[in-house]
Amino acid sequence: MSRERTLRDVSLRRPLIGVTTYHRDRAGRERFHVPAAYVDAVRAAGGLPVLLPPGDARPAELLDAVAGLVLCGGGDIDPLRFGATGHEAVYATCEERDAFELDLAAEALARRTPTLAICRGMQILNVALGGALHVHLPDVVGEAVAHRVSRERFTYHPVRLAGGSELAALLGGERVRVASWHHQAVERLGTGLEPVAWADDGTIEAVELAGRPELRAVQWHPELQYGEPDGRQRRLFEDLIARARS
């Protein structure tokens, strides 16, 4: 087989992408699950998704099998993980999931695994690097910007991107409309992280790690906007797959 043929086959191969799931659902028959939009977006961008449920004692071994990682959204991180106290609005915390994803994120960073961290995933990244979160965002910034309207449905709001950031270059501009579904957000940045996007109330909406282009972390939900005609949110998944192929 020629070298040219080998390189072409590698470039066309659908890379295996690990997709984290929600916590263990103990209602009725126990199960793990994740919204289909994450899986659909990875597939549409050219990847082969494989679900990574929490509870594995050696999450590092899972990264041996995948070329990229999506850290998904979902329930809250236990505030004790970042030195905060509880709040009546905190929901669906899970020690099993927190421990698993924090270890997985740390290992992915160490290995430079191409990673797309979404909503809770960005919060996991921040906590893994020693940062902290606002436990209930409306208590801090009010409700002028609707970051979440309910646990059952998402909303939209504009976000400003830092000029010159990798994210602004990828999304093609310094203003973007995003699908939002969260009530927690970055308070204290983890080591090395830089904010590169903000809501109009000052909430940090995306972060970057200097010299680490394989990492994308956004507070919004690009998987819910994958099919939008302008294709801007789709680029986050296409970028992940391209880096996983390289």
pLDDT per position as a tens digit, 63-119 = 999 999 999 999 999 999 999 988 999 999 999 999 999 999 999 999 999 999 999
Characterize 134-167 residue by residue with b for buried, 16 or more Cβ atoms within 10 angstroms of its Cβ, and e for exposed.
bbbbbeebeeebebbeeeeebeebebebbeebbb
Given this model, what pLDDT does residue 150 score? 86
Given this model, what pLDDT does residue 50 score? 98
19, 42 Cβ separation under 8 angstroms: yes
1 vs 179: CA distance, rounded Å:
46
67, 114 Cβ separation under 8 angstroms: yes
Q: How much of the chain, in percent, has pLDDT values that exceed 70?
A: 95
Q: Give the active site residues.
A: 119, 221, 223
Q: What's the mean pLDDT in 159-179? A: 97
Given this model, what pLDDT does residue 151 score? 80
Among 42, 146, 148, 144, residue whose Cα is nearest residue 91:
148
98, 80 Cβ separation under 8 angstroms: no
pLDDT in tens, 7-66: 345 456 899 999 999 999 888 889 999 999 999 999 999 999 999 999 999 988 999 999
Given this model, what pLDDT does residue 152 score? 83
Strands 175-180 and 204-209: unpaired
What H or E segment, with its residue span, contains residue 5?
Answer: helix 3-12
Domains and CATH numbers, the chain: 3-245 (3.40.50.880)
pLDDT bin (cut points 50, 70, 90) of residue 5 is: very low
**pLDDT exceeds cutoff 90 at 235:** yes
pLDDT in tens, 125-155: 999 999 999 999 999 999 999 999 888 889 9
Q: pTM, whole model, 2 decimals?
A: 0.94
What lies within 8 Å, CB to CB, of 135 at 6+ separation is: 79, 84, 85, 86, 87, 89, 90, 184
Given this model, what pLDDT does residue 12 score? 62
**pLDDT exceeds cutoff 50 at 3:** no
**CB-count burial class (<10 Å; 0-12, 13-18, 19+) for 65:** exposed
Among 99, 77, 93, residue whose Cα is nearest residue 184:
77
Given this model, what pLDDT does residue 156 score? 97
Residue type, 98: D
Helix segments in 77-148, DSSP class H: 95-111, 120-128, 138-141
Given this model, what pLDDT does residue 10 score? 45
163, 174 Cβ separation under 8 angstroms: yes
